[in-house]
Chain A
C-alpha cells in the first residue's frame, strides 16, 4: 500500500511536469489551431535561462528560495520575449497560408532551436545549480521532496490561473473570440495580433517555469532535453483534449502515472513507448481527447 501511494506520488510529480508544458501547447492550439512544436524547445531555453541567471547570482553556493523565485520569474520573462519573437518572425508571416505551412514552420523552428542550442550552449549536459536545497518530507510513510511538491503545486496553480485568465478577464474574452473566429474578432475591433502575441508570451513563460522547476528536480540540462519531454507533453495535451485547459492537466497527470506504472514493472524500458501508444489509441477512438468536444466546422 505504501509502495502504491509512493508510486502515485512519483507519477504525479512526473505528470505535473508534462502538465505544465501541455498547458502551453493547449493554449496556443486553442487560439490559433496551431500545434507549436517549438514549445518543448522553449522549455529547454527556459531551463538554460534559469541556469545562466542562477549562476550569475551564484545561487549554487548560497541557496535561497526568494532568489530562486526571482530566477524563475526572470527566465519566464526571457522566454515570454522569445515566444513573442518566434510568433512575430516565424508564425505570423505564414498565418494566412494553409495550416500545413504553419505546422511545418513550427517543426522548423523546433529544429532550429534544438540544433542552434547545440551550437550556442554545446552538446555537453550542464548541471543546474541547486537554488533550493532538496529536502524530503515523509507523510504517512510516503516520501516527497520539496522540489516535487513545488512542481505539483505550481502546475495546479497555473491551471487555475490560466482558467481564470481565459474565462474571467477581458484579454481572455478576446482570446476566446479570436479562437472562435479570427476575422470576425478583428472586425469587432479586437487587436488579434496583440492577443496572439499575448498567448505566445503566456505559453512560453509557462514552459520556462516548467523548465526551471524540472531542472531543479532533475539537474541535468542539455539542448535536446525539450525533444522527448515536449513530445510527451504534446501527447498529454491530445489525451486531455487539445485546446482544453483542465484537459491538459488531466492528460499530463495520466501520462505521468502510466509511465510510472510501467517503470514499476519488469518492462521499465518500454516507458517511452507508452506515451506514443496512448497517442495512437486516443487518435483512433476519441480524437477529440478525454475532455475535448469536437467543434463542427463550417465548410
Chain B
C-alpha cells in the first residue's frame, strides 16, 4: 500500500497542505485596517453577534440591518472622537448559545473589538455576557429582555425594557382591556426569556385578581402542540399567553384554531419575526407587547422608518429599531468618555440619556431602561403580518 504514496503524490499532498494553511491564515487575518488598539486614531472596531442563521434568523438579520444603518449614519456624520469611524464586525452564532459565547470570545480576543452588540435571545446573551464582562468590554444587548442578562456584571447594558415589566403590561392588557379572568400559559422551557416572562405574567395576572392555570411547557423546535392545547381547552381559559418565540408561536396559533380554540392569544416581543406569518389567519385575535410601533407619528420614528425602507426595501421591526438605538447609545457614550477604554465607556454608558427611535433611553442603576411598552394587535392580510398599534403602557 505504501508504494501508492510515491514521491510526486506526497509532494502534491504537502503543497495542498501549504495552500490550506495559507488560506486559513488569510481568513484569520481578515479584519479592518487599523483596528485593534483601545487607544489610538484608527477605526473603532465594534463587534456584533447574532443569529443570522438557524431558528432565530429573523432576529439576527433585523439586528444586523438596524446596526448597519446606525453605524453608517454615525460614520457619515463624521464619526466620533475626532473623526474616527466605526468598523463593524458581525459574527453569526447560528442561534446557539455555545456559538454565541465563542463568537464574542473571537470578537474580543482576535478582532480586538472595544464594544459588543447583541444578542436578541436572552439565552444567548446570557451565554456571551460573562465573556464581555471578564475582558472588561462593554456589551449592549439591544433586545434581551430577561432580567438576569444585565445582572451578569457592570459591563452589561441593554436598551430595551425587561420582562417583569413586559409581563405586567401583558397581564394588565388581558385583564383590563380583554376582560380575561382565567388565563393559560404556554412556555418554552428551553428559553430563559420564555421562562422569565411566564413568571412575571403569572405574578402580575394573579396580582390583578385573575386566575392562571398551571403553565404548560414545550421546547424550541417542537412542532406538535395539539396534545397540550387539547388539555388547556378542557379548562376553558379566556386567554392564552404564548411566551416563546415566533417560530413556535405561529404553529401554536394554527393548531389552537384548528382545535376550535378562538380565544385571544397573547405574546411578548419574541413574536416579532418573519416566520410569524406562517400562522396565517390563525393570527387574528392575537396581541403582543412590543418596544415600538412603526406607525408612531413622532418625527424621530418616521425618519428612521423612511431611511430604513429606502435602504433595505422593507419595514423595520422592533428588533431592528432597538439595534439601531443600541449603536446610538454606544456612540454617545464613547463621545462623552473621550475614548474607547472599557472602564471609561462603561462609566459613560451608566449615565446615558439619549432620545432614540424606541423612546427615551435613560439607563437606570441596574443598567436597564425604564421605557414604555406598546400593545399591538397582530393581523394577517394579503399574506402579510401587520402589527397594529393599540395602546401604550408606561412603567
B229: nearest residue on chain A (CB-CB)? Answer: A10
Residues of A within 8 A of B251 (CB): 218-220
Stretch at the interface among B20-28, B107-115, B230-238: B230-238
A275 interfacial contact with B, CB 8 Å: no
Given contacts A3-B233, A10-B227, contact A143 B383 (CB under 8 A): no
Residue numbers in A under 8 Å from B218 (CB-CB) = 268-269
Is B53 within 8 A of A124, CB to CB? yes
- Nearest chain B residue, comparing its CB with the CB of A118: B53
A280 at the interface (CB under 8 A from B): no
Known: A134-B258, A143-B259, A269-B189. A10 touches B217 (CB 8 A): no
Q: Bound state CA distance, A268 and B189, in angstroms? A: 11
Contact across chains for B230 and A10 when beta carbons are under 8 A apart = yes
- CA distance in complex: A11, B55 (Å): 26
B214 within 8 A of A: yes
Q: Which residues of B contact A143 (CB under 8 A)?
A: 258-260
Within 8 A of A (CB), among B287-341: none
Q: Is the CB of B223 within 8 A of A138?
A: no
Convert B222-247 into 0s and 1s, putting 1 for each residue whose CB lies closer than 8 angstroms to a CB of A. Answer: 01101110110110000000000001
Bound together, the chains give a CA A61 to CA B219 distance in angstroms of 31
Contact between chains at B227 and A11 (CB < 8 Å): yes
Whose C-beta in chain A lies nearest to the C-beta of B186?
A268
Nearest chain B residue, comparing its CB with the CB of A259: B227
B254 touches A134 (CB 8 A): yes
A61 touching B54 in the complex, CB below 8 Å, given contacts A3-B231, A7-B230:
no
* Separation of A259 and B223 alpha carbons in the complex (Å): 13
Could you give, for residues 75-104 of chain A, a 1 whenever the CB lies within 8 Å of some chain B CB and a 0 otherwise? Answer: 000000000000000000000000000000
C-alpha spacing A7/B260, complex, angstroms: 14
CB neighbours (8 Å) of A116 from chain B are: none
A264 near B230 (CB under 8 angstroms)? yes
Q: How far is the CB of B19 from chain A (nearest CB, A)?
A: 21
Cβ proximity bits A166-198 to B, threshold 8 Å, 1 near / 0 not:
000000000000000000000000000000000
Contacts of A35 in B (CB 8 A): none
Q: How far is the CB of B114 from chain A (nearest CB, A)?
A: 30
Interface residue B392 (Cβ < 8 Å from any Cβ of A): no
Q: Mark A111-148, 1 if CB is under 8 A from B, else 0.
A: 00000000000111101001000101010000101000
- Contact indicator B53/A123 (Cβ below 8 Å): yes
- The reply to whether the CB of B31 lies closer than 8 angstroms to some CB of chain A is no
Q: Is B211 an interface residue (CB 8 A)?
A: no
- Do the beta carbons of B214 and A269 come within 8 Å of each other? no
Tell yes or no: A14 within 8 A of B by CB.
Answer: yes
CB of B57 within 8 Å of the partner chain: yes
A13 at the interface (CB under 8 A from B): yes
How far does the Cβ of B199 sit from chain A's closest Cβ, in whole Å? 17
Q: Check B206 for interface membership: any CB of A closer than 8 A.
A: no
> Does A6 make an interface contact (CB < 8 A)?
yes
Most buried by A among B94, B234, B251, B259: B259
Q: If A122-B53, A125-B275 touch, does A218 touch B260 (CB 8 Å cutoff)?
A: no
Do A264 and B260 touch across chains, with their CB atoms under 8 A apart? Answer: no
Asked if A263 is at the interface of the complex by the 8 Å CB criterion, the answer is: yes
Which residues of chain A in 253-273 are interfacial with respect to chain B, using CB atoms and an 8 Å cutoff?
Answer: 259-261, 263-264, 266, 268-269
Given A10-B226, A264-B228, A268-B218, 11 more pairs with CB closer than 8 A = A3-B231, A6-B233, A123-B53, A123-B54, A125-B57, A125-B247, A127-B277, A143-B258, A143-B259, A145-B258, A269-B189
A-B contact pairs, 6 of them (CB 8 A): A6-B230, A60-B383, A123-B53, A124-B55, A264-B231, A268-B217
